Structures are given as C-alpha cells and as structure tokens.
Amino acid sequence: MTMTTSRPTSLALVGLLSLLGATSASAAAIDKQTETAIPRTGNLYGLGIGVLPATSGSNELRTMVLPVIQASFADRFYINALRAGVWLVDSDDRRLRIGLAADARSGWDADDSTRTKGMHDRDFSVDIGPALRWQTDYGTLNAQWGFDTGAASKGHSMQLQFVRALIRGPALRLSGLVGLTWNDSRMNNYYFGVTPAEAAPGRPSYRAGAGTQWQAGVNGAWPVGQRGSVLFGLMATRLGNAQAESPIVETRLQPLAYLGYGWTF
C-alpha cells in the first residue's frame, strides 16, 4: 500500500507504530500461543462439543456440535473457531495488526426454556467489523467493533479482550483471558427484551437498554500423537444490568465450556 504524506506526519505515523508494535528489541517474534484466544496448533481441523445456556440468561444448558478450525492462509487470512478475518495493516514487526473480522452469534429456540416458551425464536447472525490485535511482552490485547449483518438485532457491539499465557509446556499449553463486551440497546433488546406481543403472566414486556458484560476464562491445547490435539476451554460471562433485569433471565452468571479434537495438515 503506497501513501503520500508530509514529512512530519510520516514521522509521527512511524513513531506511533514503533511505540505500539514493539515494547523491546527482543520481542519482535509473534507469540503463537496468545495470537488467538485458543492456543495456536498450526492449521488444524476437527469437531467438538460445546455447552452453553439454552436461552439468554437461562440456567438450563444445551449442547451443540461445533467445528474445530484453526487455519491461517498467507499469514493474512484466518479462521479460528467461529471467527474468520483478514489482516489489512501491520506494524513492521507484525505485533500490531488491524483488519476485519466476522463472528458467528448463535440464536436460540424459545421452547428450550420455560421463561421464553411462547416467545419468538432468536435467530443466528454474523457480526462483522474492524478488529485490532496488539501483542505486548505481557500478553495480547484484542479489540473489535462488530455490526449485525444478518438483520437479526440490527445492532452493534464493541469488545476488548486480554489474553495471557499461563502454561507454556511442551505438552499442555494454557492461556487465560479477561474481557468486556458493550452491546447497544438494539443488540441487547433483541436477545433479552420481551415485546408486548410476547408478554405473558409472570413475563412482563421489557425493553433492554445498552450495557456491558464481563468475561473471564481459560483455553488450552494438549497434543495427542504427532498430528492430533485436544482443545478445551471454560468461560464465564457476567451479564450487565440491562440484561440481568430482563424477566427471561434466571441467572446473571452464564457459563460456556467446550471440548474438541483436531488434526493438523
């Protein structure tokens, strides 16, 4: 990409990328373990099982078959679990990268919970928007601004996430993460709101506003044989007030767990 600019502006851009892209001369290499939330194991494909709340805020759980995919193409395009994206702009050492990402957002079947029975189902959708990854000596900071492109909520959200390696063994690799997600009112209201037509005894109509939820968890990878790997993780999300006050919410703390197996090619 060629860019024409004045010398002071050019120097300022170089200085900014140098500051953000490297915190020490010895840290130029990309940290593969924290490059993604799930420790990287090369190009890997397989299947797994995920356990997550049946509906928004439910204390009942459902099980889903999930694809296990970790793939990178030309160090530019990537697929990682339910996210796909492309890096468009890099710092010289590639520790700072900016691009576009798409994340799958699962919906739910209203009949799967007593509190939502009789409501309309909430549809699967895909959020797309700009994404940033900044690797430091202490861990990796991820940021994304996603817009619903599936016309489900027609809302948007912003996410910040910090990933740090906890165990870097020759076998077990374990990373911890903490993060927060801000959802606008349309996003929250679609998944946590109750329309007047959906109101019922014990379930008043409710319009959810914008709010922030918090996440924390661990993800790991354990090599099996020469080409196989077991991937696993456990996450907990604490719903924000705008979500937790919905009449369909039974518990504020929402768990997510998964276990999968994949092969490298």
CATH superfamily of the domain spanning 32-264: monomeric porin ompg (2.40.160.40)
Is pLDDT above 80 for 149?
Answer: yes
Q: H helices of the chain, where? A: 7-21, 185-192, 241-244
Q: Which residue has the higher pLDDT, 177 or 17?
A: 177
- pLDDT given at position 41: 78
- pLDDT given at position 29: 65
Model confidence band, residue 8 (pLDDT cutoffs 50, 70, 90): very low
Q: Where are the domains of the chain?
A: 32-264
Residue 176 neighbours by CB under 8 Å, 6+ apart: 163, 164, 166, 216, 217, 218
Which range (39-43, 47-51, 138-142, 143-147) has the least confidence? 39-43
Q: Which residue has the higher pLDDT, 29 or 65?
A: 65
Query: Which DSSP symbol is given to 9?
Result: H
Q: Which residue has the higher pLDDT, 35 or 195?
A: 195
Give me the percent of the chain exceeding a pLDDT of 90.
79
